[in-house]
Amino acid sequence: MAAAAGTAARRTELEADRADKELPNPPVVVTVLAPERTCSDRTVSHRRVLFVDDNPEFLASIRELMLALSEGTWDVLTAEGAGAALGLLQQQPIDLIVVDVEMPVVDGVQFLQLLQRKYPAIPRTALTGGATEARRAAVLSAGAEFCLEKPRAPGQSKQLYAALNELAHPPTEDGFRGVLRRVGLADVVQMECLAANSSVLEITAPSARGEIVIKGGAVLHAWSGPLRGEEAFYQLLALRGGQFALRPFVAPAERTIDGSWEFLLMEAARQQDEARHGGAPPEEEPPPPPKTEEPHAPMEAPSLTSYLPRETKTPAAEALPPATRIDEVLLCSQQGDVLYEWQCPQSNARINLLEFISQKAWQLAGSLPIGRLERLEVQGPAWRVVTQLQDDRSLFVRSSQPPAA
Protein backbone atom coordinates (compact mmCIF):
# COMPACT_ATOMS: atom_id res chain seq x y z
CA MET A 1 0.00 0.00 0.00
CA ALA A 2 2.83 2.35 0.83
CA ALA A 3 4.53 1.59 -2.50
CA ALA A 4 1.29 2.24 -4.39
CA ALA A 5 0.80 5.51 -2.59
CA GLY A 6 4.33 6.58 -3.38
CA THR A 7 3.87 5.67 -7.06
CA ALA A 8 0.64 7.67 -7.25
CA ALA A 9 2.29 10.67 -5.60
CA ARG A 10 5.21 10.46 -8.02
CA ARG A 11 2.81 10.28 -11.00
CA THR A 12 0.97 13.36 -9.72
CA GLU A 13 4.24 15.32 -9.41
CA LEU A 14 5.27 14.30 -12.99
CA GLU A 15 1.90 15.37 -14.41
CA ALA A 16 2.08 18.68 -12.58
CA ASP A 17 5.61 19.26 -13.82
CA ARG A 18 4.55 18.45 -17.40
CA ALA A 19 1.61 20.85 -17.15
CA ASP A 20 3.88 23.63 -15.90
CA LYS A 21 6.25 23.10 -18.85
CA GLU A 22 3.43 23.12 -21.41
CA LEU A 23 1.64 26.12 -19.84
CA PRO A 24 4.11 28.13 -17.76
CA ASN A 25 1.63 31.01 -17.17
CA PRO A 26 -1.96 30.00 -16.48
CA PRO A 27 -4.53 32.07 -18.43
CA VAL A 28 -6.05 35.14 -16.79
CA VAL A 29 -9.44 36.47 -17.92
CA VAL A 30 -9.82 40.24 -17.59
CA THR A 31 -13.19 41.92 -17.98
CA VAL A 32 -12.93 45.52 -19.19
CA LEU A 33 -15.88 47.49 -17.87
CA ALA A 34 -14.96 50.83 -19.43
CA PRO A 35 -13.52 50.34 -22.92
CA GLU A 36 -11.44 53.10 -24.45
CA ARG A 37 -13.49 55.62 -26.40
CA THR A 38 -13.09 55.50 -30.13
CA CYS A 39 -13.78 58.06 -32.82
CA SER A 40 -14.13 56.96 -36.43
CA ASP A 41 -12.52 53.58 -35.65
CA ARG A 42 -9.54 55.29 -34.03
CA THR A 43 -8.77 55.72 -30.36
CA VAL A 44 -8.96 59.20 -28.96
CA SER A 45 -5.21 59.23 -28.27
CA HIS A 46 -4.43 58.35 -31.91
CA ARG A 47 -4.25 61.30 -34.30
CA ARG A 48 -4.25 61.66 -38.07
CA VAL A 49 -2.10 64.57 -39.28
CA LEU A 50 -1.98 65.79 -42.89
CA PHE A 51 1.07 67.61 -44.29
CA VAL A 52 0.53 69.60 -47.51
CA ASP A 53 3.60 70.65 -49.53
CA ASP A 54 4.70 70.78 -53.15
CA ASN A 55 8.09 69.19 -52.37
CA PRO A 56 7.86 65.37 -52.32
CA GLU A 57 11.30 65.00 -50.72
CA PHE A 58 10.31 67.21 -47.80
CA LEU A 59 7.05 65.30 -47.39
CA ALA A 60 8.89 61.98 -47.24
CA SER A 61 11.41 63.23 -44.69
CA ILE A 62 8.84 64.98 -42.46
CA ARG A 63 6.61 61.89 -42.53
CA GLU A 64 9.44 59.63 -41.40
CA LEU A 65 10.51 62.12 -38.75
CA MET A 66 7.01 62.64 -37.28
CA LEU A 67 6.29 58.90 -37.24
CA ALA A 68 9.46 58.34 -35.21
CA LEU A 69 8.80 61.19 -32.79
CA SER A 70 5.14 60.26 -32.25
CA GLU A 71 6.10 56.63 -31.48
CA GLY A 72 3.13 55.25 -33.36
CA THR A 73 0.48 57.61 -31.99
CA TRP A 74 0.21 59.52 -35.28
CA ASP A 75 -1.03 58.52 -38.71
CA VAL A 76 0.98 60.85 -40.94
CA LEU A 77 -0.57 61.58 -44.35
CA THR A 78 1.01 63.68 -47.09
CA ALA A 79 -0.41 65.53 -50.09
CA GLU A 80 1.46 67.27 -52.91
CA GLY A 81 -0.66 70.38 -53.28
CA ALA A 82 -4.10 71.66 -52.39
CA GLY A 83 -5.97 69.39 -54.81
CA ALA A 84 -4.58 66.17 -53.36
CA ALA A 85 -5.22 67.44 -49.82
CA LEU A 86 -8.87 68.17 -50.57
CA GLY A 87 -9.25 64.65 -51.91
CA LEU A 88 -7.89 63.16 -48.69
CA LEU A 89 -10.13 65.39 -46.58
CA GLN A 90 -13.17 64.03 -48.41
CA GLN A 91 -12.12 60.42 -47.86
CA GLN A 92 -11.22 60.32 -44.16
CA PRO A 93 -11.29 62.40 -40.98
CA ILE A 94 -8.24 64.55 -40.25
CA ASP A 95 -7.25 65.93 -36.84
CA LEU A 96 -4.64 68.48 -37.93
CA ILE A 97 -3.58 70.07 -41.24
CA VAL A 98 -0.07 71.47 -41.71
CA VAL A 99 0.24 73.64 -44.84
CA ASP A 100 3.34 74.92 -46.60
CA VAL A 101 3.06 78.62 -47.39
CA GLU A 102 5.17 78.64 -50.58
CA MET A 103 3.13 76.43 -52.94
CA PRO A 104 2.45 77.10 -56.64
CA VAL A 105 -0.99 77.69 -58.20
CA VAL A 106 -2.85 77.70 -54.84
CA ASP A 107 -0.45 79.04 -52.21
CA GLY A 108 -0.64 78.34 -48.51
CA VAL A 109 -2.57 81.49 -47.60
CA GLN A 110 -5.24 80.83 -50.23
CA PHE A 111 -5.52 77.19 -49.19
CA LEU A 112 -5.88 78.18 -45.53
CA GLN A 113 -8.72 80.53 -46.47
CA LEU A 114 -10.41 77.70 -48.36
CA LEU A 115 -10.01 75.38 -45.36
CA GLN A 116 -11.45 78.05 -43.07
CA ARG A 117 -14.63 78.17 -45.16
CA LYS A 118 -15.00 74.44 -45.86
CA TYR A 119 -13.45 72.75 -42.79
CA PRO A 120 -13.50 75.38 -40.01
CA ALA A 121 -13.56 72.78 -37.21
CA ILE A 122 -10.18 71.21 -38.17
CA PRO A 123 -7.12 72.88 -36.56
CA ARG A 124 -4.54 74.02 -39.10
CA THR A 125 -1.14 75.62 -39.02
CA ALA A 126 1.37 76.91 -41.55
CA LEU A 127 4.98 75.93 -42.26
CA THR A 128 7.41 78.24 -44.00
CA GLY A 129 11.08 78.47 -44.76
CA GLY A 130 11.27 82.06 -43.52
CA ALA A 131 8.61 83.50 -41.22
CA THR A 132 8.47 87.28 -41.71
CA GLU A 133 6.03 89.47 -39.80
CA ALA A 134 4.00 90.13 -42.96
CA ARG A 135 3.77 86.42 -43.70
CA ARG A 136 2.76 85.60 -40.13
CA ALA A 137 0.01 88.20 -40.26
CA ALA A 138 -1.26 86.83 -43.59
CA VAL A 139 -1.51 83.19 -42.47
CA LEU A 140 -3.00 84.06 -39.09
CA SER A 141 -5.65 86.19 -40.79
CA ALA A 142 -6.37 83.23 -43.08
CA GLY A 143 -7.28 81.04 -40.10
CA ALA A 144 -4.01 79.35 -39.13
CA GLU A 145 -3.33 78.68 -35.45
CA PHE A 146 0.42 79.27 -35.81
CA CYS A 147 3.01 80.15 -38.42
CA LEU A 148 6.00 77.84 -37.76
CA GLU A 149 9.37 77.56 -39.47
CA LYS A 150 10.51 74.34 -41.12
CA PRO A 151 13.04 72.48 -38.96
CA ARG A 152 16.71 72.64 -39.89
CA ALA A 153 18.16 70.75 -36.90
CA PRO A 154 17.12 67.72 -34.78
CA GLY A 155 16.30 69.92 -31.82
CA GLN A 156 14.00 72.06 -33.95
CA SER A 157 12.21 68.92 -35.17
CA LYS A 158 11.33 67.97 -31.59
CA GLN A 159 10.03 71.48 -30.91
CA LEU A 160 7.91 71.34 -34.07
CA TYR A 161 6.46 67.97 -33.07
CA ALA A 162 5.66 69.21 -29.56
CA ALA A 163 3.76 72.22 -30.93
CA LEU A 164 1.86 70.16 -33.52
CA ASN A 165 1.03 67.48 -30.97
CA GLU A 166 -0.61 70.08 -28.73
CA LEU A 167 -2.75 71.25 -31.64
CA ALA A 168 -3.67 67.68 -32.53
CA HIS A 169 -4.77 66.96 -28.93
CA PRO A 170 -7.00 69.87 -27.89
CA PRO A 171 -8.05 69.87 -24.22
CA THR A 172 -11.38 68.19 -23.58
CA GLU A 173 -14.10 70.55 -22.43
CA ASP A 174 -17.71 70.11 -21.42
CA GLY A 175 -20.32 71.22 -23.89
CA PHE A 176 -20.84 70.99 -27.62
CA ARG A 177 -18.62 71.88 -30.52
CA GLY A 178 -19.91 72.75 -33.95
CA VAL A 179 -20.10 75.31 -36.73
CA LEU A 180 -22.61 78.16 -36.87
CA ARG A 181 -23.41 79.61 -40.28
CA ARG A 182 -24.43 83.25 -40.80
CA VAL A 183 -24.49 84.09 -37.11
CA GLY A 184 -24.30 87.68 -35.93
CA LEU A 185 -21.43 88.89 -33.78
CA ALA A 186 -23.94 90.43 -31.38
CA ASP A 187 -25.38 86.94 -30.81
CA VAL A 188 -21.92 85.55 -30.03
CA VAL A 189 -21.14 88.37 -27.59
CA GLN A 190 -24.52 87.91 -25.91
CA MET A 191 -24.02 84.14 -25.51
CA GLU A 192 -20.55 84.58 -24.02
CA CYS A 193 -21.68 87.29 -21.60
CA LEU A 194 -24.84 85.48 -20.49
CA ALA A 195 -22.76 82.39 -19.75
CA ALA A 196 -20.23 84.51 -17.80
CA ASN A 197 -17.43 83.11 -19.98
CA SER A 198 -13.91 84.46 -20.35
CA SER A 199 -12.65 84.42 -23.93
CA VAL A 200 -11.18 86.44 -26.79
CA LEU A 201 -13.47 86.86 -29.81
CA GLU A 202 -11.17 87.13 -32.82
CA ILE A 203 -12.85 88.74 -35.85
CA THR A 204 -11.53 88.77 -39.41
CA ALA A 205 -13.23 90.49 -42.34
CA PRO A 206 -12.06 91.77 -45.74
CA SER A 207 -12.17 95.37 -44.49
CA ALA A 208 -11.11 95.01 -40.86
CA ARG A 209 -9.62 92.75 -38.22
CA GLY A 210 -9.82 92.96 -34.45
CA GLU A 211 -10.65 91.36 -31.12
CA ILE A 212 -13.23 91.66 -28.34
CA VAL A 213 -11.98 90.55 -24.92
CA ILE A 214 -14.57 89.18 -22.48
CA LYS A 215 -13.91 88.21 -18.85
CA GLY A 216 -16.54 86.70 -16.60
CA GLY A 217 -19.34 87.95 -18.84
CA ALA A 218 -18.04 91.55 -18.99
CA VAL A 219 -16.52 93.21 -22.06
CA LEU A 220 -13.10 94.55 -21.06
CA HIS A 221 -11.41 95.60 -24.27
CA ALA A 222 -11.81 95.82 -28.02
CA TRP A 223 -9.52 96.83 -30.84
CA SER A 224 -9.89 97.15 -34.59
CA GLY A 225 -6.95 98.55 -36.51
CA PRO A 226 -5.98 101.80 -34.78
CA LEU A 227 -9.28 102.03 -32.88
CA ARG A 228 -9.62 101.04 -29.23
CA GLY A 229 -12.48 100.73 -26.76
CA GLU A 230 -16.15 101.28 -27.55
CA GLU A 231 -15.39 102.84 -30.94
CA ALA A 232 -13.62 99.65 -32.00
CA PHE A 233 -16.43 97.52 -30.55
CA TYR A 234 -19.08 99.32 -32.59
CA GLN A 235 -16.99 99.12 -35.75
CA LEU A 236 -16.53 95.36 -35.39
CA LEU A 237 -20.22 94.72 -34.78
CA ALA A 238 -21.09 96.84 -37.82
CA LEU A 239 -19.20 94.47 -40.15
CA ARG A 240 -21.58 92.85 -42.64
CA GLY A 241 -19.67 89.57 -42.98
CA GLY A 242 -16.46 87.74 -42.13
CA GLN A 243 -15.16 85.05 -39.81
CA PHE A 244 -14.80 84.76 -36.06
CA ALA A 245 -13.09 82.41 -33.61
CA LEU A 246 -13.32 82.13 -29.85
CA ARG A 247 -9.83 81.90 -28.35
CA PRO A 248 -8.81 81.22 -24.74
CA PHE A 249 -8.86 84.27 -22.53
CA VAL A 250 -5.70 86.37 -22.39
CA ALA A 251 -5.73 89.46 -20.19
CA PRO A 252 -5.41 92.65 -22.28
CA ALA A 253 -2.69 95.18 -21.63
CA GLU A 254 -5.35 97.75 -20.75
CA ARG A 255 -9.07 97.94 -20.06
CA THR A 256 -10.74 100.27 -22.53
CA ILE A 257 -14.44 99.44 -21.94
CA ASP A 258 -16.34 99.92 -18.68
CA GLY A 259 -19.96 99.91 -19.85
CA SER A 260 -22.31 96.94 -19.54
CA TRP A 261 -22.56 94.56 -22.44
CA GLU A 262 -26.33 95.14 -22.67
CA PHE A 263 -25.78 98.86 -23.28
CA LEU A 264 -23.01 98.15 -25.77
CA LEU A 265 -25.21 95.83 -27.84
CA MET A 266 -28.16 98.22 -27.78
CA GLU A 267 -25.99 101.15 -28.81
CA ALA A 268 -24.41 99.07 -31.60
CA ALA A 269 -27.88 98.13 -32.88
CA ARG A 270 -28.94 101.79 -32.75
CA GLN A 271 -25.91 102.92 -34.74
CA GLN A 272 -26.43 100.20 -37.34
CA ASP A 273 -30.09 101.11 -37.66
CA GLU A 274 -29.21 104.78 -38.04
CA ALA A 275 -26.62 103.95 -40.69
CA ARG A 276 -29.15 101.89 -42.67
CA HIS A 277 -31.57 104.81 -42.67
CA GLY A 278 -28.94 107.32 -43.73
CA GLY A 279 -28.24 108.89 -40.33
CA ALA A 280 -30.30 111.34 -38.34
CA PRO A 281 -33.03 113.40 -40.04
CA PRO A 282 -31.91 116.71 -41.59
CA GLU A 283 -32.02 119.76 -39.38
CA GLU A 284 -34.78 121.60 -41.19
CA GLU A 285 -38.39 122.30 -40.44
CA PRO A 286 -40.77 119.63 -41.70
CA PRO A 287 -43.29 120.69 -44.33
CA PRO A 288 -46.58 122.01 -42.98
CA PRO A 289 -49.25 119.33 -42.58
CA PRO A 290 -51.93 119.25 -45.27
CA LYS A 291 -55.25 120.80 -44.47
CA THR A 292 -57.21 117.76 -45.53
CA GLU A 293 -56.92 114.75 -43.28
CA GLU A 294 -55.06 111.89 -44.93
CA PRO A 295 -56.14 108.28 -44.33
CA HIS A 296 -52.64 107.24 -43.26
CA ALA A 297 -51.79 110.13 -40.97
CA PRO A 298 -49.27 108.61 -38.49
CA MET A 299 -50.62 110.47 -35.47
CA GLU A 300 -54.09 109.02 -35.97
CA ALA A 301 -53.38 105.25 -35.99
CA PRO A 302 -56.95 104.49 -34.83
CA SER A 303 -56.51 100.71 -34.90
CA LEU A 304 -53.42 100.87 -32.65
CA THR A 305 -55.25 102.04 -29.52
CA SER A 306 -57.76 99.22 -29.74
CA TYR A 307 -54.98 96.77 -28.86
CA LEU A 308 -53.82 98.68 -25.80
CA PRO A 309 -55.36 98.41 -22.31
CA ARG A 310 -58.02 101.05 -21.71
CA GLU A 311 -56.02 102.73 -18.98
CA THR A 312 -52.92 102.93 -21.19
CA LYS A 313 -52.56 105.80 -23.60
CA THR A 314 -50.44 105.59 -26.71
CA PRO A 315 -46.87 106.35 -25.53
CA ALA A 316 -45.02 109.17 -27.18
CA ALA A 317 -48.26 110.35 -28.81
CA GLU A 318 -49.43 113.03 -26.35
CA ALA A 319 -46.24 113.99 -24.55
CA LEU A 320 -44.26 114.85 -27.68
CA PRO A 321 -44.23 118.38 -29.08
CA PRO A 322 -46.38 119.11 -32.15
CA ALA A 323 -43.35 119.03 -34.45
CA THR A 324 -42.58 115.43 -33.59
CA ARG A 325 -42.86 112.97 -36.46
CA ILE A 326 -43.75 109.32 -35.90
CA ASP A 327 -41.43 107.25 -38.12
CA GLU A 328 -42.58 103.70 -37.34
CA VAL A 329 -44.90 101.78 -35.02
CA LEU A 330 -45.03 98.08 -34.24
CA LEU A 331 -47.32 96.17 -31.88
CA CYS A 332 -46.74 92.43 -31.38
CA SER A 333 -48.11 89.68 -29.18
CA GLN A 334 -46.21 87.81 -26.51
CA GLN A 335 -45.63 85.03 -29.04
CA GLY A 336 -44.04 87.45 -31.53
CA ASP A 337 -47.03 87.77 -33.89
CA VAL A 338 -47.47 91.19 -35.48
CA LEU A 339 -50.75 92.79 -34.34
CA TYR A 340 -50.19 96.22 -35.86
CA GLU A 341 -47.48 97.60 -38.10
CA TRP A 342 -46.96 101.02 -39.64
CA GLN A 343 -43.91 101.98 -41.74
CA CYS A 344 -41.82 99.26 -40.09
CA PRO A 345 -39.57 97.72 -42.78
CA GLN A 346 -37.67 95.51 -40.29
CA SER A 347 -40.39 94.07 -38.12
CA ASN A 348 -38.38 90.94 -37.21
CA ALA A 349 -35.54 93.07 -35.84
CA ARG A 350 -38.00 95.11 -33.76
CA ILE A 351 -39.66 91.96 -32.40
CA ASN A 352 -36.25 90.56 -31.43
CA LEU A 353 -35.45 93.82 -29.64
CA LEU A 354 -38.74 93.74 -27.72
CA GLU A 355 -38.15 90.11 -26.68
CA PHE A 356 -34.62 91.00 -25.55
CA ILE A 357 -35.90 93.92 -23.43
CA SER A 358 -38.66 91.73 -21.99
CA GLN A 359 -36.10 89.10 -20.89
CA LYS A 360 -33.96 91.75 -19.22
CA ALA A 361 -37.02 93.21 -17.52
CA TRP A 362 -37.78 89.88 -15.88
CA GLN A 363 -34.16 89.51 -14.78
CA LEU A 364 -34.15 92.98 -13.22
CA ALA A 365 -37.44 92.29 -11.48
CA GLY A 366 -35.97 89.17 -9.90
CA SER A 367 -32.74 90.81 -8.73
CA LEU A 368 -33.86 94.32 -7.73
CA PRO A 369 -36.87 95.28 -5.56
CA ILE A 370 -38.14 97.84 -8.07
CA GLY A 371 -40.94 95.92 -9.72
CA ARG A 372 -41.18 94.95 -13.33
CA LEU A 373 -39.86 97.25 -16.07
CA GLU A 374 -42.78 98.20 -18.31
CA ARG A 375 -41.50 101.19 -20.28
CA LEU A 376 -38.12 102.02 -21.78
CA GLU A 377 -37.24 105.27 -23.52
CA VAL A 378 -34.03 105.95 -25.42
CA GLN A 379 -33.52 109.47 -26.75
CA GLY A 380 -30.93 111.08 -28.98
CA PRO A 381 -30.44 114.62 -30.28
CA ALA A 382 -33.16 114.30 -32.92
CA TRP A 383 -34.80 110.91 -32.37
CA ARG A 384 -36.63 108.96 -29.71
CA VAL A 385 -37.49 105.28 -29.22
CA VAL A 386 -40.20 104.18 -26.77
CA THR A 387 -41.00 100.57 -25.88
CA GLN A 388 -43.96 99.52 -23.74
CA LEU A 389 -44.23 95.99 -22.30
CA GLN A 390 -47.54 94.42 -21.27
CA ASP A 391 -48.41 90.89 -20.19
CA ASP A 392 -49.81 89.94 -23.59
CA ARG A 393 -48.28 92.45 -26.01
CA SER A 394 -45.38 94.83 -26.59
CA LEU A 395 -45.17 98.17 -28.39
CA PHE A 396 -42.31 99.84 -30.30
CA VAL A 397 -42.49 103.49 -31.44
CA ARG A 398 -39.70 105.42 -33.17
CA SER A 399 -40.07 109.15 -33.72
CA SER A 400 -37.89 112.04 -34.86
CA GLN A 401 -37.88 115.72 -34.08
CA PRO A 402 -35.67 118.39 -35.60
CA PRO A 403 -33.70 120.33 -32.99
CA ALA A 404 -35.07 123.67 -31.93
CA ALA A 405 -33.95 126.58 -34.03
Q: What DSSP assignment string belongs to 35-70?
A: PPPEETTEETT-EEEEEE-S-HHHHHHHHHHHHHHH
- More confident of the two residues 368 and 253: 253
Separation between Cα atoms, residue 211 and residue 249, nearest integer Å? 11
- The verdict on residue 103 lying in a domain is yes
pLDDT tens digit sequence for 174-215: 555 555 555 678 888 988 888 888 988 888 887 888 999 999
Q: Are residues 158 and 198 in the same domain?
A: no
314 and 386 housed in the same domain: yes
User: What is the domain extent for residue 360?
Assistant: 302-400
- Contact yes or no for 313/286 (Cβ under 8 A): no
Strands 96-100 and 124-128: parallel
Domain-embedded: residue 29: no
Instruction: Let me know if 185 is exposed, middle or buried by CB neighbors in 10 A (0-12, 13-18, 19+).
Output: buried
CA distances (Å), 134 to each of 17, 52, 86, 141, 251, in order? 77, 21, 27, 11, 25
pLDDT value of position 22: 42
Does the residue 117 lie in any domain?
yes
* Per-residue pLDDT band at 312 (split at 50, 70, 90): very low
Return the higher-pLDDT residue of 142 and 285: 142
Q: Cα–Cα distance between 387 and 274 in angstroms, integer?
A: 17
DSSP, collapsed to helix, strand or coil, labels residue 32 as coil
> Would you say residue 20 lies in a domain?
no
Q: Is 122 helix (H, G, I), strand (E, B) or coil?
A: coil
Domain shared by 232 and 140, yes or no = no
Q: Which amino acid is at 288?
A: P
- Number of structural domains in the chain: 3
